[in-house]
Amino acid sequence: MTIEATGNPALVPKTADGPIIHPRWVRVTHWVNALAMLMMIGSGWQIYDASPLFRFIYFPPQLALGQWLAGALLWHFAAMWLLVINGIVYVTLGTATGRFRRKLLPIRPRDVVSDLLAALRGNLAHDDLSVYNAVQRLLYVGVILAGVVIVLSGLSIWKPVQLKYLTAFFGGYDFARYVHFFAMASIVGFLTVHVALALVVPKSLRAMIVGR
């Protein structure tokens, strides 16, 4: 049976291949979230091209999803509900099991600067995948918050009349589009770094597939 790791080596569940780092619910929600985000980003780029915010930014059709505006909207809304439901499950279990508290807190500015400098020098160790460094903690918390912002700003754009108070919170329909765009850009930036680090430290990818 898979049990959430507690941080105490004596209590970490073990198998013939080593301790469980990521329980099954983390792995499932991780990959479902990855699929939902790729669908949302690809379809979002197609929607953006139909009404761009910046003249100098254009997304090639080869990278977009939906082929045309109506098709992209269908993909976008389908992926949105998948992302929301999966996100609720992830946040609920992460909070209830104490995983967020153990893995992501505390975040100290001094530790972030220290680990960032170590990473830039290539001196940041990855021996224990069950422990996140300060930079990882900051990035993971940041992308969770960006996910919340992108969903709420997207809802305010989708239903600006029905959700007028939410739209007003984001500064109105037009400004909400900018918030949505920059939230998307931050998530794309996170995914780029995340994938790059997975390639640099391939055992982290294996851990997210098999759990150990």
Residue from 131, 135, 26, 143 nearest 86 by CA: 26
Q: Which residue has the higher pLDDT, 15 or 168?
A: 168
Q: What percent of the chain has pLDDT over 90?
A: 67
Overall number of domains in the chain: 1
- Token pair of 117 as six digits: 């400098």
**What integer pLDDT is reported at residue 19 of this predicted model?**
78
Average pLDDT in the chain: 88
- Please check whether residue 194 lies inside any domain of the structure: yes
Q: Distance between CA atoms of 164 and 156, rounded to whole angstroms?
A: 7
- Please check whether residue 2 lies inside any domain of the structure: no
pLDDT per residue over 30-47, tens digit each? Answer: 999 999 999 999 999 999
Q: Distance between CA atoms of 38 and 59, rounded to whole angstroms?
A: 14
- Please check whether residue 203 lies inside any domain of the structure: yes
The DSSP string of 73-131 is HHHHHHHHHHHHHHHHHHHHHHHHTTHHHHHH----HHHHHHHHHHHHHT----S-TTS
pTM score: 0.84
Q: Could you tell me the pLDDT band of residue 170, with boundaries at 50, 70 and 90?
A: very high
- Please check whether residue 195 lies inside any domain of the structure: yes
- Please check whether residue 181 lies inside any domain of the structure: yes
The residue-averaged pLDDT of 11-34 equals: 78
- Please check whether residue 12 lies inside any domain of the structure: no
Q: Could you tell me the pLDDT band of residue 18, with boundaries at 50, 70 and 90?
A: low
**What integer pLDDT is reported at residue 198 of this predicted model?**
84
pLDDT per residue over 85-143, tens digit each? Answer: 999 999 999 999 999 999 999 999 999 999 888 888 877 776 777 788 898 899 999 99
Q: Which residue has the higher pLDDT, 196 or 188?
A: 188
- Please check whether residue 134 lies inside any domain of the structure: yes
Q: What three-state secondary structure class fits 58?
A: coil
CATH number assigned to the domain comprising residue 82: 1.20.950.20
Q: Distance between CA atoms of 164 and 170, rounded to whole angstroms?
A: 10
- Please check whether residue 94 lies inside any domain of the structure: yes
> The domain containing residue 93 runs over which residues?
19-52+62-210
